[in-house]
């Protein structure tokens, strides 16, 4: 009974914005008392305890919580089957439990203990739940966090990141392409997105055909800079089947709707995903056909193929490809510290296997792998090697790249495409 009363006390405290049920004035101030609170501080032993509330309107299978502090933390102890993994500077910790089932509208309170070296206690400055920042609540009282679109209502928020995936592909044949040396001979799902300005068309990004009516691309490709405001769909035109970016023998596809993923964060390109619906279905044939969406995430796969337009002499030109490999975030940070703020729990870092080659792929391009004779979409390129330079036309194939992991968004994609 005492345990139940304690939980009730915590929930009441969170709801009312009270920092501490025991009224301990020595505790630091929470940056978001509605979801996080300090419980006790033991400065003699360099320890403090805290509690987080994890809540979602729908079922989540697996929790990944990222805690960011203003100072290094020596150790975090947490129960309930969670594992605490530090990053290199120990200012960030990943608290994860892949097996936890969090039911909708049933908040879970997670208690943890922080041990530090001494001096002033490190304070929590940010808390992310499954790659979405919930503390500090920078989106409070804002209506633009969720796109005003019938396909992406508020109830979709967080549901699709790790919820159950459907096994069926919402289209007919997909992922069909012959291969040589582990690389497809053609990429019939690869598309180029152009922005129309008067009578001119300017190349913008790449996209991937997922059905005869929908393409997948990066959200930052189809929104105004550093905002969640989508471009006017009528300004976009898509070409599929171009082996060269300037090829003129393919039919233009006009865009009727842009669907942004509800949790897209333009400030650090997390959840960088969008769907483009075209006005008329694409005519599928040997030259134009969709890629398969993944049925499940295979964590053991390390190598993928990244098709895309090749950067040559400051310009994207012919369609080519490179093999890439996933690398751990810690390894990624060592080689490229500037990528740290762009990596969350639902995207991943990769490098070209042949690092001295050409830069392949622009934002919106998709990495693929072969599974049961079908090519499956694994990631959407969010940050390419070329775009990390001050001069965006310069190729540096030794740089790491960042991709959004498609399996994390499988249900959201299938629901909208279907």
Same domain, 125 and 193: no
216 shares a domain with 131: no
Integer angstrom CA distances of residue 401 from 187, 206, 306, 360, 397:
21, 15, 11, 11, 9
> Where is the domain boundary, 239, 256, 288?
288
Closest CA relative to residue 379, chosen from 351, 400, 407: 407
In this structure, are 110 and 26 located in the same domain? yes
Reported as a single tens digit per residue, the pLDDT across 264-313 is 988 889 999 999 999 999 998 888 999 999 876 555 567 899 999 998 87
200 and 263 both lie in a single domain: yes
Q: What is the pLDDT of residue 296?
A: 62
pLDDT at position 228? 87
Residue 67 lies in a domain: yes
Q: Are residues 129 and 239 in the same domain?
A: no
Query: CATH no. for residue 203?
Result: 2.40.10.10
| Domain termination site, one of 233, 263, 288 | 288
Instruction: Tell me if 167 is assigned to some domain.
Output: no
pLDDT confidence of residue 130: 74
Residue 130 half-sphere exposure, CB side, CA atoms within 13 Å? Answer: 23
Residue 216 located in a structural domain: yes
Do 130 and 245 lie in a common domain?
no
Same domain, 116 and 192: no
Do 118 and 200 reside in the same domain of the chain? Answer: no
Q: Is 358 within the bounds of a domain?
A: no
pLDDT at 197: 82
pLDDT digit string (tens) for 320-337? 999 999 998 888 877 777
Residue 53 lies in a domain: yes
Spatial distance between the Cα atoms of 305 and 224, rounded to a whole number of angstroms: 29
131/206 same-domain check = no
> What is the pLDDT, as a whole number, of residue 3?
37
**SS3 annotation, the chain:** CHHHHHHHHHHHHHHHCCCCCCCCCCCCCCCCCCCEEEEEEECCCCEEEEEEEECCCCCEEEEEEEEEECCCCCEEEECCCCEEEECCCCCEEEEEEEEEEECCCCCEEEEEEEECCCCCCCCEEEEEECCEEEECCCCCCCCCCCCCECCECHHHCCHHHHCCCCCCCCCCCCCCCCEECCEECCCCCEEEEEEEECCEEEEEEEEEECCCCEEEECHHHCECCCCCCECCHHHEEEEECCCECCCCCCCCEEEEEEEECCCCECCCCECCCEEEEECCCCCCCCCCCCCECCCCCCCCCCEEEEEEEEEECCEEEEEEEEEEEEECHHHHHHHCHHHHHHCCCCEEEEEECCCCCCCECCCCCEEEEEECCEEEEEEEEEECCHHHCCCCCCCCCCCCEEEEEHHHHHHHHHHHHC
- Looking at residue 171, what is its pLDDT? 43
Give the range of the structural domain holding residue 209, as residue numbers without chain letter: 187-288
Domain final residue pick, 226, 255, 288: 288
Question: In terms of domains, do 279 and 195 share one?
Answer: yes
Q: How many folded domains does the chain comprise?
A: 2
Question: In a structure prediction context, what are the per-residue pLDDT tens digits for the chain, which is 418 residues long?
Answer: 333 434 444 444 444 444 444 444 478 888 888 788 899 999 899 999 999 988 776 667 778 888 999 999 999 999 888 999 998 889 999 998 888 887 766 788 899 999 999 888 999 998 888 767 788 764 333 333 222 222 233 233 333 333 334 444 444 589 888 877 778 888 999 999 999 888 889 999 999 999 999 999 999 999 988 888 899 999 999 999 888 988 877 789 999 999 999 889 888 899 999 999 999 999 988 889 999 998 765 555 678 999 999 988 778 899 999 999 999 888 887 777 778 888 888 999 999 887 556 788 889 999 999 988 899 999 999 988 765 554 455 677 788 899 999 999 988 999 999 7
pLDDT of residue 289: 93
**In this predicted structure, what is the pLDDT of residue 150?**
28
Q: For residue 12, is it within any domain?
A: yes
Q: Is 317 a member of any domain?
A: no
The CATH number of residue 15's host domain is: 2.60.40.290
Whether residues 46 and 109 fall in one domain: yes
Same domain? For 128 and 11 the reply is yes
Q: Is residue 229 part of a domain?
A: yes
């Amino acid at each position: 009974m005492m345990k139940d009363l304690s939980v009730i006390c915590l929930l009441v405290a969170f709801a009312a914005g009270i920092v501490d049920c025991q009224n301990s004035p020595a505790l630091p101030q929470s940056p978001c008392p509605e979801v996080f609170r300090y419980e006790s501080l033991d400065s003699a032993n360099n320890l403090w305890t805290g509690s987080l509330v994890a809540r979602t309107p729908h079922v989540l299978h697996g929790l990944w919580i990222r805690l960011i502090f203003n100072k290094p933390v020596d150790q975090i102890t947490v129960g309930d089957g969670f594992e605490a993994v530090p990053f290199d500077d120990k200012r960030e910790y990943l608290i994860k439990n892949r097996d936890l089932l969090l039911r909708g509208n049933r908040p879970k309170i997670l208690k943890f203990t922080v041990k530090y070296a001494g001096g002033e206690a490190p304070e929590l400055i940010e808390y992310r739940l499954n790659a979405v920042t919930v503390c500090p609540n920078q989106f409070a009282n804002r209506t633009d966090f969720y796109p005003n679109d019938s396909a992406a209502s508020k109830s979709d928020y967080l549901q699709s990141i790790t919820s159950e995936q459907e096994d069926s592909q919402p289209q007919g044949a997909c992922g069909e392409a012959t291969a040589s040396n582990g690389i497809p001979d053609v990429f019939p799902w690869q598309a180029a997105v152009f922005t129309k300005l008067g009578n001119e068309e300017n190349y913008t990004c790449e996209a991937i055909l997922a059905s005869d009516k929908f393409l997948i691309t990066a959200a930052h490709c189809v929104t105004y800079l550093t905002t969640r405001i989508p471009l006017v769909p009528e300004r976009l035109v898509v070409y599929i089947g171009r082996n060269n970016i300037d090829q003129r023998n393919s039919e233009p596809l006009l865009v009727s709707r842009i669907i942004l993923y509800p949790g897209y964060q333009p400030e650090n390109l997390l959840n960088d995903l969008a769907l483009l619906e075209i006005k008329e279905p694409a005519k599928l044939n040997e030259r134009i056909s969709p890629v398969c969406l993944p049925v499940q995430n295979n964590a053991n796969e390390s190598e993928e193929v990244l098709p895309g337009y090749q950067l040559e002499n400051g310009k994207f030109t012919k369609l080519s490809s490179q093999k890439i490999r996933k690398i751990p975030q810690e390894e990624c940070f060592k080689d490229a510290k500037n990528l740290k703020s762009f990596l969350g729990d639902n995207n991943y870092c990769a490098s070209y296997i042949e690092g001295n080659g050409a830069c392949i792929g622009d934002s919106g391009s998709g990495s693929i792998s072969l599974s049961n004779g079908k090519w499956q979409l694994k990631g959407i390129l969010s940050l390419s090697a070329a775009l990390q330079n001050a001069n965006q036309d310069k190729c540096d194939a030794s740089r790491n790249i960042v991709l959004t992991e498609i399996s994390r968004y499988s249900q959201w994609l299938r629901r909208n495409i279907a």
